[in-house]
A = this chain, B = another copy of it.
Amino acid sequence: MSKKQLRVGVIGCGAIGREHIHRLMSVVPSATVVAVYDYFEEAAQKVAAAYDGIEVFPSGEAIIESEGVDAVLVATTDDTHAGYVMHCLENEKYVFCEKPLALTVPECEEMMEKEQAIGKRLIQVSFNRRIDLGYREMKQAIKDGEIGEPLMIHSAHRNISQAPGFETDYAITRVAIHEIDITRWLLDEEYEEVQVLTVKQSRRTSGDWLNPQLVMFKTVSGQRVDVEVQTDGAYAYDIQCQVVGEDGTLNLPDPAKVWKRTNQSFSYSLTDHWAKRFIESYDTEFNEWAESVVADQLVGPSARDGYVSCVVADAMIRSRKTGRPEKIELVEKADIY
């Protein structure tokens, strides 16, 4: 691979945006950041001052329309994702969008129609779990038939705390959404039904949102998935996933940490934050994205993946209110996906 640079424009210079810029500049050799924009101009100026060759643009749209920008990365607040992504499509420009792709299903559908009309994928959604080595080894083991047909998945998503402003719905749209995606990716199958069950509440919840919640999925072939969701107060940032197949089970391993024997116990550390657990996956995710853009052939999570997550999250919020299982209805899958 040569040192030829993909010129990337980044919209959004908040914490995650800056993290992505640093990553693109330091571990993605085929890409370089050339343009930035932030609602708070100062944030953008600060980034531009820290690196050579980055220009501050007056708007996200200006970046998208710029001839000097080959691809766009959207790292703004959730409500603005859809607008920027659609603008990218209108300009037939590759775009990497943080999850969620959009707040509503119709927005996702519109994007898919537009991509289909263009005739190729331009959108990649960030579901970085798919790059994690543990999940990849699990998927490979399933493919290799090591556990026969998968029948169930038992998983848990546990968080120590949330940023201020967190709401009950976010337990689904920002937390469980990772499980929505990674589970269907592991099983290579769509959901038929989803149910959110109320659970005895933890005194360790700092806000007034529902915590924990228990989510039940049923896939089209009848596989069952249970996902425990703790958004707050857990003992660690801990992600557990067990795939149960006809011939055995596979568990996502704990990260390798030093094995200690002290004070009459054996122990090893668990992490306290998602970034420490999964941030490395962004290295690979950006590298694979940059290379696939250069090759003009996207391979990462698509607008369709973003759309399915959106449909399922909507059904989960409905189920939490009705207390009943809710059906999942998806539009036909277009050729390009």
Contact = CB atoms under 8 A, between A and B. Distances in A.
A40 B263 CA distance: 38
B266 A267 contact: yes
Interface string A244-264: 101111111111111111111
A137 B258 CA distance: 7
B256 A235 contact: no
A293 to B, nearest CB: 16
A147 B29 CA distance: 41
Interface in A213-272: 214, 216, 218-219, 221-224, 226, 228, 233, 235-236, 238, 244, 246-272
Interface residues of A, number: 78
A333 interface: no
A197 to B, nearest CB: 6
Contact of A137 (B28, B246, B257, B265): B257
Contact of A261 (B27, B134, B248, B258): B248
Interface stretch (A70-78, A149-157, A168-176, A314-322): A149-157
A53 B3 contact: yes
B259 A250 contact: yes
Q: How many copies does the complex hold?
A: 4
A218 B323 CA distance: 14
Nearest to A155: B154
Nearest to A244: B228
A217 B260 CA distance: 23
A286 to B, nearest CB: 12
A222 B235 contact: no
Nearest to A150: B200
A26 B52 contact: no
B269 A248 contact: no
Contacts of A222: 198-201
A235 B223 contact: no
A1 interface: yes
Nearest to A241: B258
Nearest to A26: B29
Max chain B CB contacts within 10 Å: which of A221, A270, A287?
Answer: A270
A214 B28 CA distance: 44
Interface in A191-206: 197-204
10 contacts: A27-B29, A141-B258, A152-B200, A154-B228, A197-B216, A200-B219, A214-B226, A235-B247, A235-B262, A253-B257
